[in-house]
Structure 1
Amino acid sequence: MKSKIVTLDELGEFKNGLNFNKYDYGEGYPIINVKQLYQSRFASTKNLLSIRKDFGKKIDNYTVKKGDLLFARGSMVAKGAGQVVMVNDFKPGTVFSGFIIRFRVNDEKKINPLFLNYILRSPKYRGQFVRLAEGSVHSNFNQEILGNFKIELPSIHIQNIITNILGKIDDSIELLQTLDSHLEDIIKTFFKSWFIDFDGQTEFIDSELGKIPKGWKCYHTDEIKKEKKGIVSGPFGSNIGSRFFQTIGIPVIRGNNLTIGKEEFIDAGFVYITQEKAEELKNCQAIQGDIVFTAVGTLGQVGIIPIYSKYEKYVISNKQLRLRIATDIATPFYCYYWYSYPDVSNFIINQNKGTSVPLINLQVLKSIPIIIPPLTKMKEFEKLVEHIKFTQHNLRQKIDLLSEVRDLILPKLMSGEIRI
């Protein structure tokens, strides 16, 4: 297949994003931040924060339109450098932040923006971005670096065919992700009914958290931990910095593996350390059933290492805390849904001890209250949703397989090995 080698500068124009501070937030213009670039092929534009309409700068220069590509300017690790997504659905007046660089193609009759998006997100080109960023503590990109980046560009006809093929695969992936999300909502509905609204309970007693069913207890997290190393913080930063990261090994759990009430655990997107380094940090390891909290940064993020985890063990980063439950008191599954429940998540967020950066410490985690029903009740809940969790596991396996197929066939389509 005939393609030409071109730089991005030849295909369009770059624009740095809008700089603002926390006092500029308010009702007005929705703004895309870096975290909206790491969820799918398209920028996530639901529930965006906004900046005030009376914001001083000229907004028109920073608005987005369908087909714009958005690059992350910086990343704490090389693996996240140059992350790119395409703008698809958005509200009028949506702008992008100063941590992002916008790329807008010159002529969509010659260049399909979604094709560029697929190319730049493919393992081949992601690898080039990572190699460019390696060796820097903060992996930063600018317009000059991106503008000189070279890609293979086939004819617009071939671009459109490839985009159509890959788009169908991604449509299937997103459908499976939607089904997975709906199943998770069902589990949360059961949890709320049983353990928040106390449906079916008739006798109540007073507790620190108000009225709870008779026979239930109110504990603090420190009282339900496994006795030895039940609650630990991550290693000191100097013990787990980027200089220790590998391409394979023991995965390191970071903030991108946790969410606020969305997914129990994102078992992908890791950096790795060696087995020897993991043994050195054995007190900071996490295994199936362990609950992990973000301690620095996006407070309220919580995850649980699931029974279907891809790895036998993990190591938490210096910005996480790990809780290991005493299973004669509570089940990890129940506790995860308690800590990820919106009211509890907001409680954690409000315990912020930081100034410039949000922060909670071990004492905060130990003091978080939790209602503990009878152990039989928690196990009954797990049994009820067991089939749902198994179905979710199967869906996620299919998502992983389709993602691998998409990434494998793109270079074959480009090379002509698969004829189109």
Structure 2
Amino acid sequence: MSLILNDVAKFVTSKIEISEIDETNYISTENMLPNKGGVIEASSLPDTQTVREYQSSDILINNIRPYFKKIWFSDKNGGCSNDVFVLRAKNNYDSKFLYYVLSSDDFFSYVMSTAKGTKMPRGDKKAIQNYNVPEFPIEDQMKISNLLNGIDQKIEVNKKINNHLEEIILEIFDRWFVKFELSDELKSSKLGLIPKGWDIDYLGSKKSCTIIGSGIRNFEDSKIYIATADVDNSIITYNENLITMEDKPSRANMQPVPKSIWFAKMIDSRKLIMVDEYSSELLDNYIFSTGFCGLKCVDKYFYYLWTFLLTDAFNTMKNNFCTGTTMQAINNKDTKLIEFVLPDDNLLSQFNSIAEPIFKEIYYNNNEIKKLQNLRDILLPKLMSGEIDVAEINYDLKRIIRKFILSLLNYLYENKNYFKNTKSNETLLKSRTIHKIDKYFTKFIR
């Protein structure tokens, strides 16, 4: 018996009052991340009285430009825009299994092949309802979804560790370079009181960094073109098939160079990419769109500037310079005007000694995330086709270990104020211990 999507799921069309929605549970195409990256908090709410309703365990799929592969398995109730499909599994189909069916490249290829429109393709609901889905007993559905979910949970653990490490370095930056807790004597400056021996710099001065040129034409076809939509919090989540020869623009930013930082120019976007000695693949294979601005950093200011660009203060400065009608963004000329304090070499050296191992750890975690995502995407079609038999797999031990790891991470976040009040070296030691614990338990679940 052949199954189609309409047999196992329904499209939700019910509405919910906008008064019951906030930025934490509103989903639109803007705050869904590409390549199955989930969602982030919305930056604003729509000016409407109602929005489409979704519930926990529903599957949300972005319907604009399906090639971005924006899909999310909801873990709460909320509302979403009309550009997002909401699917709810029927009783004969496991919700998480259905999510993985619809996460497959085969599904998104099908949606694109039946989509309407060229510049802004949209999925055809009727065609999607006729998509062929695999038929498994409910027990096997749950085994497959548990296996794939185990990989996704490890990805989430890595992301939580990285978020924690980022919190640590931002806390140190705030105490040392914003509140000046390690400096005794202050002097007046155009940015207010700053420690004696420090300077005021701006991104266009060339003392700490240089803005990378305006763009190049006729770049090599072998280069992978990266737009801002292909980046998720410093992780490149590109789809190599996204840009074809015909789609490639005639102009792009320069190829990344060592010790450079790339940030998205668009208003409110916090997307950053670091290019250092650990990311040589970026130098060889990638080229960025004009949606990015690149900063070639003087070596000793590299981690300092990266952390500065992570701060709310930089985002506010950037937003103040953003102009435009359809899409507001900062230009390179105004980027040069952004000012910041420049510490003395002694404190900068101390900061680098802490920052470098933290960012190295973040890089390795990001690299593992990419490998896990690739593993999941390789396993997915093999499991769905029945090529891999999961009939004999036992998940009880894996579930116990996963719950322990997640409980550990939850404890750390519930007590993050304690970690913030410890000395920086003690906090760094704790974060390394967390990684070692996670690495130890990973041996049991791979």
Q: In which range does the TM-score fall when normalised by the shorter chain?
A: 0.7 to 0.9
User: Retained in 1: the 8 A contact 2:27–2:80?
Assistant: yes
Instruction: Give deviations 1:319-346, integer Å, cap 9, x for gaps.
Output: 222222344xx52221121122111211
- From the superposition, tell whether residues 406 and 316 of structure 1 become closer, same or farther in structure 2 (CA, over 3 Å): closer
- From the superposition, tell whether residues 391 and 28 of structure 1 become closer, same or farther in structure 2 (CA, over 3 Å): closer
User: Retained in 2: the 8 A contact 1:72–1:101?
Assistant: yes
Note the aligned Cα RMSD (angstroms). Answer: 3.6
After superposition, residues 162-173 of structure 1 pair within 5 angstroms as: 162-173=144-155
Give 1:274 deviation, angstroms.
9.2
Report sequence identity in percent.
22
TM-score, normalized by length of structure 2?
A: 0.74
Deviates most, 402-411 or 186-195: 402-411
User: Retained in 1: the 8 A contact 2:32–2:40?
Assistant: no
Give 1:216 deviation, angstroms.
1.1
Letter matched to residue 205 of structure 1: K
**In structure 2, distance between residues paired with 1:50 and 1:257:** 24
Structure 1, unaligned runs of 5 or more: none
Give 1:18 deviation, angstroms.
7.7
- From the superposition, tell whether residues 172 and 300 of structure 1 become closer, same or farther in structure 2 (CA, over 3 Å): closer
After superposition, residues 378-397 of structure 1 pair within 5 angstroms as: 378-397=348-367
- From the superposition, tell whether residues 7 and 116 of structure 1 become closer, same or farther in structure 2 (CA, over 3 Å): same
**In structure 1, distance between residues paired with 2:321 and 2:333:** 10
Letter matched to residue 79 of structure 1: Y
Q: Give the corresponding residue for 2:227.
A: 254
Give 1:148 deviation, angstroms.
2.6
Give 1:124 deviation, angstroms.
3.6
Deviates most, 367-376 or 94-103: 367-376
**In structure 2, distance between residues paired with 1:17 and 1:352:** 37
TM-score, normalized by length of structure 1?
A: 0.78
Out of 55, 67, 70, the position equivalent to 1:83 is 70
**In structure 2, distance between residues paired with 1:40 and 1:274:** 17
Give 1:132 deviation, angstroms.
4.9
- From the superposition, tell whether residues 48 and 365 of structure 1 become closer, same or farther in structure 2 (CA, over 3 Å): closer
**In structure 2, distance between residues paired with 1:374 and 1:26:** 50
**In structure 2, distance between residues paired with 1:406 and 1:196:** 42
- From the superposition, tell whether residues 380 and 18 of structure 1 become closer, same or farther in structure 2 (CA, over 3 Å): farther
Q: Give the corresponding residue for 1:321.
A: 293
- From the superposition, tell whether residues 368 and 322 of structure 1 become closer, same or farther in structure 2 (CA, over 3 Å): same
User: Retained in 2: the 8 A contact 1:352–1:360?
Assistant: yes
Q: Give the corresponding residue for 2:88.
A: 104
Out of 58, 61, 69, the position equivalent to 1:68 is 58
User: Retained in 2: the 8 A contact 1:14–1:101?
Assistant: yes
Instruction: Give deviations 1:257-305, integer Å, cap 9, x for gaps.
Output: 556xxx4x21322557799x99x96862222322223224544544332
| 1:231 lines up with 2:204 in the alignment | no
| 1:358 lines up with 2:323 in the alignment | no
Letter matched to residue 81 of structure 2: S
User: Retained in 2: the 8 A contact 1:70–1:85?
Assistant: yes
Q: Which has the higher helix share?
A: 2
Out of 5, 9, 16, the position equivalent to 1:8 is 5
**In structure 2, distance between residues paired with 1:136 and 1:11:** 30
Give 1:112 deviation, angstroms.
1.1
**In structure 1, distance between residues paired with 2:193 and 2:57:** 53
**In structure 2, distance between residues paired with 1:253 and 1:41:** 17
After superposition, residues 91-240 of structure 1 pair within 5 angstroms as: 94-105=78-89, 107-108=90-91, 110-132=92-114, 136-224=118-206, 230-234=211-215
**In structure 1, distance between residues paired with 2:385 and 2:190:** 66
Give 1:219 deviation, angstroms.
1.6
- From the superposition, tell whether residues 40 and 384 of structure 1 become closer, same or farther in structure 2 (CA, over 3 Å): same
Instruction: Give deviations 1:369-393, integer Å, cap 9, x for gaps.
Output: 1211234533431222222223223
User: Retained in 2: the 8 A contact 1:71–1:83?
Assistant: yes
Q: Give the corresponding residue for 2:434.
A: none
Q: Give the corresponding residue for 1:410.
A: 380
Q: Give the corresponding residue for 2:283.
A: 312
User: Retained in 2: the 8 A contact 1:331–1:379?
Assistant: no
Q: Secondary structure at the match of 1:350?
A: helix
Structure 2, unaligned runs of 5 or more: 392-446
**In structure 1, distance between residues paired with 2:354 and 2:186:** 24
**In structure 2, distance between residues paired with 1:190 and 1:374:** 16
**In structure 2, distance between residues paired with 1:283 and 1:266:** 19
Letter matched to residue 97 of structure 1: S
**In structure 2, distance between residues paired with 1:198 and 1:45:** 32
Deviates most, 178-187 or 8-17: 8-17
Give 1:226 deviation, angstroms.
8.1
Q: Secondary structure at the match of 1:331?
A: helix
Instruction: Give deviations 1:18-47, integer Å, cap 9, x for gaps.
Output: 89xxxx988855421124432786853756
